[in-house]
């Protein structure tokens, strides 16, 4: 286990080194000074998502969704609650498929909501829809390199 982790700022996308022992304390971005963890999902476009994917040592839990999708709206509060409970052990990200069709195509999203866990820059797990709200906790337990 590493003694420090790279955490990408949800505000300015700068990579920050956070000591493992202090990860649970949150911290502020060295570039913009804003909190590294907000307890809320972060809405990203394709370019910003690529920065988080390339630079983060934490797992990324991603919800591919659309505003017009009823099941997506049903999953949204569960996803938000998971972000509030499970950060800073993972970063929770929302990707609007209508605004980012190239990103949806890259990961072969065929139905929404589509839920993904990324670790080490690669897809570690995925599922269509949400049959078990505990899946987010299971993914974080499985893929987080540190107990914060």
Cis (ω within 30 of 0) for the bond into 113? Answer: yes
Domains, the chain, ranges and CATH? 37-143 (3.40.30.10)
* Catalytic annotation present for 69: yes
* Catalytic annotation present for 72: yes
* Predicted structure pTM score: 0.94
Report pLDDT digits (tens) over 35-94: 999 999 999 999 999 999 999 999 999 999 999 999 999 999 999 999 999 999 999 999
Is the separation of the CB atoms in 44 and 35 below 8 Å? no
Helix axes 70-86, 135-143, angle to 10 degrees: 40
Q: Annotated catalytic residue: which of 9, 12, 32, 72? A: 72
- β-pairing, 91-96 vs 60-65, is parallel
Determine the pLDDT at residue 59. Answer: 97
Structure token digits, residue 63: 């919800």
């Amino acid at each position: 286990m590493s003694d420090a982790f790279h955490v990408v700022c949800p505000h300015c996308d700068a990579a920050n080194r956070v000591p493992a022992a202090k990860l649970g304390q949150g911290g502020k971005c060295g570039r913009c000074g804003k909190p590294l963890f907000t307890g809320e999902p972060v809405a990203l476009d394709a370019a910003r998502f690529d920065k988080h994917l390339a630079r983060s040592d934490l797992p990324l839990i991603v919800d591919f969704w659309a505003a017009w999708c009823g099941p997506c709206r049903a999953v949204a509060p569960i996803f938000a609650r998971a972000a509030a409970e499970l950060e800073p052990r993972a970063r929770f990200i929302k990707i609007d498929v209508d605004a980012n069709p190239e990103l949806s195509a890259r990961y072969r999203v065929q139905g929404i909501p589509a839920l993904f866990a990324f670790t080490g820059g690669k897809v570690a797990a995925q599922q269509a829809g949400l049959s078990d709200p505990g899946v987010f906790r299971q993914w974080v337990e499985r893929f987080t390199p540190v107990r914060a």
